[in-house]
Amino acid sequence: MKYLIIGLGNPGAEYENTRHNIGFKVLDKLASLSNISFSADKLADVAEVKFKGRKLILIKPNTFMNLSGKSVHYWMQQSKINIDNILVITDDISLPFGVLRLRKKGSDGGHNGLKDIQNVMNSVKHPRLRFGVGNDFPRGRQADYVLGDFTDEDYTTMDERIDLAVKIIQGFTTIGIDRIMSDFNGK
């Protein structure tokens, strides 16, 4: 079985520790568990990980967040992976920091990366793992917030929450989305 695991974020050192890049951070952790590093490829940085007989193709789109759909579509076609076997990891301002929510489908919730993926794929029916980053920003300052760095308080539990996100991804690829949603959502 093959899976395409997409971590959303923006390329470049200036975005590395921003809230919008939590998808990249989760994939970095997953790759590091297998001592695998990412390499630049067409439209994304890519790594392949084996987990319990499954092949996980990890991509970090280098198209910038708002154009993520182009990269996701290309790698789905290139890898011949069905939409049910993709998982998009993204930040979510509607969830408190560190709260994880796995869904089979759904709206973009105002997230431009998800919006572009859904527009390119012409579907909202793809699994996604939302990683809460909180919403402590004044009205009209959402972009500054998601492009801002994590707080010191966020860092106190970040490793634990990223580890949980990795377990959710691993479970998604082995025991399936329904069981993982039941076991982990909101924890």
- Domain ranges for the chain: 2-184
Tell me the per-residue pLDDT of 148-172, one tens digit each, with 9 for 90 and over.
Answer: 999 999 999 999 999 999 999 999 9
Retrieve residue 144's tokens.
């500054």
* The pair of three-digit structure tokens given for residue 18, joined into one six-digit string: 């921003």
Q: At residue 135, does pLDDT exceed 80?
A: yes
Q: Which residue has the higher pLDDT, 108 or 41?
A: 41
Q: CATH number of the domain at 2-184, out of 1.10.10.10, 3.40.190.10, 3.40.50.1470, 3.40.630.30?
A: 3.40.50.1470
pLDDT at 16 (0 to 100): 94
> Shortest CA distance to 57 belongs to which of 33, 30, 22, 19?
30
Tens digits of residue pLDDT in 58-80: 999 999 999 999 999 999 999 99
Q: Has 20 been annotated as catalytic?
A: yes
CA distance 75 to 71: 6
What's the token pair of residue 162?
């990223």
> What's residue 187's pLDDT?
61
Sheet of 39-41, strand order? 39-41, 44-51, 54-61, 2-7, 86-92, 128-132, 100-103
